[in-house]
Amino acid sequence: MKKFENKVWLSSPTMHGDELKYVTEAYETNWMSTVGKNINEVERMISEKVGCKYAVALSTGTAALHLAMKLANIKQGDYVFCSDMTFAATVNPVTYEGGIPVFIDTEYDTWNMDPIALEKAFEIYPEVKVVVVAHLYGTPGKIDEIKAICDKHGAIIIEDAAESLGATYKGKETGTFGAFNVISFNGNKIITGSSGGMLLTDDLEAANKVRKWSTQSRENATWYQHEEVGYNYRMSNVIAGVVRGQIPYLEEHIQQKKAIYERYKEGFKDLPVTMNPYDEDNSEPNFWLSCMIIDEEAMCQQVRGETDALYISESGKSCPTEILDAIASINAEGRPIWKPMHMQPIYRMNPFITRDGNGRARTNAYIDGQALDVGMDIFNRGLCLPSDNKMTKEEQDIIIEIIRECFK
């Protein structure tokens, strides 16, 4: 099949022109540092959009997560429950403060933290007071159930909504369910600043602490006075100009991403695959990335090492490696599902909790259709599809066809 002349990306920035206007305004008024109208406006616009009282614009989503860990008072040696199937940036900030991530297995309904496994984790580690929850690929997890469990055990939630800006659960925006919440404007997110992130909270004291910490913890003195460690984490007024120009297009981007998801779903309806699921009664994702998982019986043999993979092609079957190779062959970009944190070399010795207890030393076995290690299972059988909202319908039809060919 002929290659695309221009690469079809997984998810690239979609610009509209307003971004340049606000960046130019920052340039022409010489507000090029970490103060200015653009910063003030993006904080106001996001807090109004999401429905939180305070938004603090920071250099990255990871910086926001780090300061959320400080707000949660994580200390050296503290165990912290974390989503297992996520990007490493969700959990690395726990370690910045000396905490020890304890990974909670995933559930099949939304590919997010399993509330049953979370309850089991509290039985094993009743002292834990912080739970870090991510919403994978823009799909809300079972946040009401998770919150009820946390409330029962006196734990707070840090909500990593980096991928899910604009998604809702029971009509409420993600980024509002935790004590401290985080969004990202990284280059591949649903709206972007090229970089940047925000901490969201209803706690004024917490917001003020983050503003101080993110500007090197400078005290209110005539000279540079510092009484605690600070960080250079504030968003620049230039980056904020890009974000400011993007925010009005959030809903448009979501609708474009949803259309991509629905076209894939229709195109695969007679294949042994399923799209990444969500709770259609209670949640509305932002559909940031469209993903698929291959039925267990339709998987050909696939072996993954630390940095590469092998598979044996088989009639009527396929695997993520074969499909990703096929997509790449026509100049389109897919990628594997996030490799679960408990499988990462850096975190392999950390505790990992499944719904039936300690998940270490599990094989990829099933009981009544339920994998003993759900995150590993989804990683083995799943992949992220090209989801760029500038992809044409014709380009998507070609991608669908080449994936269908993999199962012949």
Residues annotated as catalytic are 189
The one-character DSSP state at 244 is: H
Which backbone phi and psi does 78 adopt, to 5 degrees? -70, 135
Closest CA to 319 of 306, 309, 308, 332: 309
* Residue showing tokens 């980056």: 239
Cβ neighbours of residue 393 closer than 8 Å, sequence gap 6 or more: 263
Reduced to 3 states (helix: H, G, I; strand: E, B; else coil), residue 366 is: strand
- Describe the strand order of the beta sheet including 79-83 as a list of residue ranges: 54-58, 197-201, 180-184, 156-160, 130-134, 79-83, 100-104, 352-354, 357-358
Cβ neighbours of residue 363 closer than 8 Å, sequence gap 6 or more: 372
Which backbone phi and psi does 345 adopt, to 5 degrees? -55, -40
Cβ neighbours of residue 217 closer than 8 Å, sequence gap 6 or more: 226, 227, 228, 229, 230, 231
